[in-house]
Structure 1
C-alpha cells in the first residue's frame, strides 16, 4: 500500500483541519498518482475536500467511527478491520492513504511506499506525520530537484519500507 502526504521541515501536515499550504505542482502530482486508484482517508479529511465531497475518478474509502455517517460516492467503513477487508478487492499498489494524522498513524505499518512532498519551511501546525528520516524501517530512495513556488522551496521524495510491513 502507498501513502501520499505533504509535510514541512518538522513533518507537520495540517492546521485547523486544513493543509499547511497549497502548491499547484503538489496538487498535480497528487492527482496523477491517485487518479483511477483507491484513496483511504478519515472523515475530517473528506470534509476538508472541496464541497466536502469524495474526489472524482477514484474509489474513496472513508473511515469514520460514526455508525450513521454516510456520503454519496464513498465507501464508509467504521473500523480498521472493515477497511482492510474492503481493500482486499483492490491491488495493493493501487491503494493510497491520504490522511489525516490518525489515519496515517493507523495505516503506516501496512504501507511500503511513501510519496512525500517535503516543504523546506516550518509552519504553525496541529497535526503531524511520523518523521520517516528518523524511522529505521524507512529509507528515502528518490528525491526530485528542488522546486520553488514563489519563495517556497520543496522536493518530491519517495520513501520505501526497508523493515517488515504488515501485509493486508
Structure 2
C-alpha cells in the first residue's frame, strides 16, 4: 500500500482542517498517482475536499466512527479492520492512504511506499505526519530536484519500508 502526503519541515500536514499550502505541481502529482486507483481518507479529509464530495475517477473509501455516516460515491468503513477487508479486494499497489493524521497513523504500519512532497518551510499547524527521516524502518530512495512555487522550495521524495 502507498501513502501520499505533503509535509513541511516539521512534518506538519494541516491546520484547522485545511492543507498548509496548495502547490499546483503537488496537486498534479496527487492526481496522476491516484487517478483510477483506490484512495482511503478520514471523514474530515473528505469534508475538506471541494464540495465535500469523493474525488472523481477513483474508488473512495472513507473511514469514520459514526455508524450512521453515508456519502454518495464512496465506500464508508467504520474501523481499520473493515477498511482493510475492503482494500483486500484491490491490488495492494493501487491503494493510496491520503489522510488525515489519524488515518495516516493507523495505516502506516501496512504501507511500504510513501510519496512525500517535502516543503522547505515551517507552517503553523495542528496535524502531523510521522517523520520518516527519523524512522529507522523507512529510507528515502528517490528525491526530485528542488522545485519552486513563488518563493516556496519543495522536493518530491519517495520512501520505502526497509525489508
Give the distance between the partners of 1:110 and 1:135, measured in 2 at CA: 15
Which residue does 2:97 correspond to in 1?
A: 97
Give the distance between the partners of 1:106 and 1:64, measured in 2 at CA: 13
Which residue does 1:2 correspond to in 2?
A: 2
Q: How many Å apart are 1:108 and its aligned residue?
A: 0.1
Give the distance between the partners of 2:13 and 2:79, measured in 1 at CA: 23
SS at match of 1:133: helix
Give the distance between the partners of 1:27 and 1:142, measured in 2 at CA: 19
- Verify: 1:78 aligned to 2:78, yes or no: yes
Q: How many Å apart are 1:138 and its aligned residue?
A: 0.2
1:39-61 C-alpha deviation (Å, 9 max, x unpaired)? 00000000000000000000000
1:45-87 C-alpha deviation (Å, 9 max, x unpaired)? 0000000000000000000000000000000000110000001
SS at match of 2:69: coil
Map 1:109-128 to 2 at 5 A.
109-128=109-128
Q: How many Å apart are 1:15 and its aligned residue?
A: 0.1
Q: How many Å apart are 1:133 and its aligned residue?
A: 0.1
Q: How many Å apart are 1:125 and its aligned residue?
A: 0.1
Give the distance between the partners of 2:38 and 2:85, measured in 1 at CA: 14
SS at match of 2:55: coil
Q: How many Å apart are 1:123 and its aligned residue?
A: 0.1
User: Taking structure 2 as the reference length, what is the TM-score of the superposition?
Assistant: 0.99
Give the distance between the partners of 1:85 and 1:148, measured in 2 at CA: 40
Give the distance between the partners of 1:104 and 1:16, measured in 2 at CA: 17
- Verify: 1:45 aligned to 2:49, yes or no: no
Which residue does 1:55 correspond to in 2?
A: 55
Give the distance between the partners of 1:152 and 1:22, measured in 2 at CA: 11
